[in-house]
Amino acid sequence: MDISFLSTFGILTILAWTLPEDTLRNILPFIDVFVFGGFTLTIGAAWACFKLRFMDQLMLDYVSDEELSHPSIQHLIVRTTQMFLVGFTLMAVIAAVNGTLSVTGNNTNTLRIVLLVLEYSIFGIMLTIAQWLYPEYLVSEKGMKMIGDKYPDECAAWEAANPDHEWAKE
């Protein structure tokens, strides 16, 4: 997560320092495309090249190292990383439409606001799902059954490696 933010905003800062002012004025309607497209590219590249998933760092704040290796936590990390990749891509596409309409002069103030609300609603929905809804589902009886059915060997191996942990006793 840190890599995504630092690289995206680092590149944008360097561009702001080096590009002429009139060029910056021309690309300003597309700033959200650069931000959310940058997040998409860095999250995807970190996952594909270095096996660093977007939610790994965030999960370290909530669970112990042994809990981090549990199949339910690994499932949560993969699914939310996938969701953020799709969400940031959608946000970049909506921002590109908004920027294109602005540059061509076909964007009304109302349409611009509607597109911005849609764009940032996706972000709010992603955070709600990643931080609340999906974790709550996974700790429910239905979610635990799904994890047990989907990853029986991994769950058994984790329980064997961590027999004293409270999750192994459930």
Q: How would you class 70 by CB atoms within 10 Å of its CB: exposed for 0-12, middle for 13-18, buried for 19 or more?
A: buried
CA atoms within a 13 Å half-sphere pointing along the CA-CB vector of 24: 10
Task: List, for residues 23-81, the tens digit of each pLDDT value.
Answer: 888 888 999 999 999 999 999 998 999 998 888 878 888 888 889 999 999 999 999 99
pTM to 2 decimals? 0.85
pLDDT band at residue 170 under the 50/70/90 scheme: low
| Angstrom distance (rounded) from CA 1 to CA 113 | 28
**108-157 confidence digits (pLDDT tens):** 999 999 999 999 999 999 999 998 999 999 999 999 999 999 999 999 99
